[in-house]
A = this chain, B = another copy of it.
Amino acid sequence: MKKKRVSIKDIAKHLNVSVTTVSFVLNGKAKEKRISEEVTNKILDYVKKINYKPNQLAQSLRTGQSKILVLMVEDISNYFFSKLARVFEDLAYEKGYKVLFCSNENSDKKSIELIDLFNERQVDGFIIIPSAGIENKIKSLQQQNIPVVLLDRFFEGMEIGYVGIDNRYASRQGIDHLNMNGFNSPAFVSIDVQQTQMLGRLEGYQEAAKEYSFKEKKLLLPYNLKSNEQGREILKKFFNENPELDSILFATNYLTQLGLEVLKNDFPEKIHQLGIITFDDNALFSICTPAITAICQPIENMAKETMNILFQLINKPTQSTGFQNKILKTSLEVRESTKALIERV
């Protein structure tokens, strides 16, 4: 039943030419190989007529290029990552590449499995948001001369292409903004994890604490929360025990969501008094009440820079020495949640 795909050989036979000729013509090398216009057109016409498409698999096997890139994120269903994915998709297609997305759930085991999996498939490059323990796996990719660039997080001291934001600065930006609006006792809510981007965010907070000499007040939730409910409990306790806080910087999207749920349910008055800032924007933050001020990562730019570095690696087969890094700045989307109290309704 399966209609057999037509191959280059079939075309050659049908047209009484050799496969070589067909291949040359198809690959636009007709001129270069000085194949007659007549033959060239005959082939082109026929190919169009039967709507022939070369078998990419065979092509890849032969050329060693699969034109496939892999983007490995923590969880593709997370807003920040899915936005990133969308931008990568478009950028890659422009260049004739496809992108495979996959989620590693921040697990080393899953990350390694996935990398191996795609490596077997000879993908042409990796863009990886790495979990903490896969430094060696990534080094092994580099040794095989497979282009990799890291995104969002990196490994201290590793020689590798990397694109991220200035997390320390971003936190500072947030606290500065709070400070300017009269909030001078800010808490920092984050996750207890050794990811570089999280450490940077914490650092920025601590630095600001010194400069403005307020007392550090940080809550680090366990990475593997059993449930949202557990997270809410912890936050609730934290708010109860620290009534003096006048503002909060949430280090990720997800925490903001939990935090707002708790505030909304258990401290309905506080939600309008506290200064609130979240890392990573989301379209819906603007319709919360109060609308939430956000530290925004320049997603498009991040993707663009990553692609640049990656394609440089792809096009330069020799092991290069200088690895490019790009640290971008975040921007602040100011909304109601950080308005000075006197200005609020």
Q: Which residues of A contact B (CB under 8 A)?
A: 1-3, 53-58, 60-61, 66, 75-79, 82-83, 85-86, 89, 98-103, 116-122, 143-145, 257, 260-261, 264, 282-289, 291, 317-319
Give A122 to B60 CA distance when docked, in angstroms.
12
Identical chains in the assembly = 2
Interface pair A56/B120, CB less than 8 Å apart: yes
Query: In the bound complex, do residue B89 and residue A103 qualify as a contact, i.e. CB atoms below 8 Å apart?
Result: yes
Provide the bound-state CA to CA distance between A277 and B267, in Å.
25
Residues of B within 8 A of A145 (CB): 1-3
A101 and B122 contacting across the interface, CB-CB below 8 Å: no
Query: Is the CB–CB distance between B100 and A100 below 8 Å?
Result: yes
**Given A121-B57, A285-B284, also A3-B143 (CB < 8 A):** yes
- The distance in angstroms between the C-alpha atoms of A101 and B98, with both chains bound, is 9
Contact status B53-A120, CB under 8 Å: yes
Asked if B103 contacts A100 (CB within 8 A), the reply is no
How far does the Cβ of A328 sit from chain B's closest Cβ, in whole Å? 19
Q: Which residues of B contact A82 (CB under 8 A)?
A: 76-79, 82, 85
How many whole Å from A156's CB to the nearest CB in chain B?
26
Closest to A77 in B: B86
Instruction: Give the chain B neighbours of A99 by CB distance below 8 A.
Output: 100
Q: Given A54-B120, A101-B101, A116-B53, check contact A284 B282 (CB 8 Å).
A: yes
Q: Are B53 and A57 neighbours in the complex by a CB distance under 8 Å?
A: no
Given contacts A1-B145, A261-B286, contact A53 B86 (CB under 8 A): no
The reply to whether A1 and B288 contact each other, CB–CB distance below 8 Å, is no
Contacts of A56 in B (CB 8 A): 120-122
A143 to B4, CA, bound (A): 11
Find out whether the CB atom of A122 lies under 8 angstroms from the CB atom of B57.
yes
A57 near B60 with CB under 8 A, answer: yes
Do residues A85 and B89 form an inter-chain contact, with CB atoms below 8 A? no
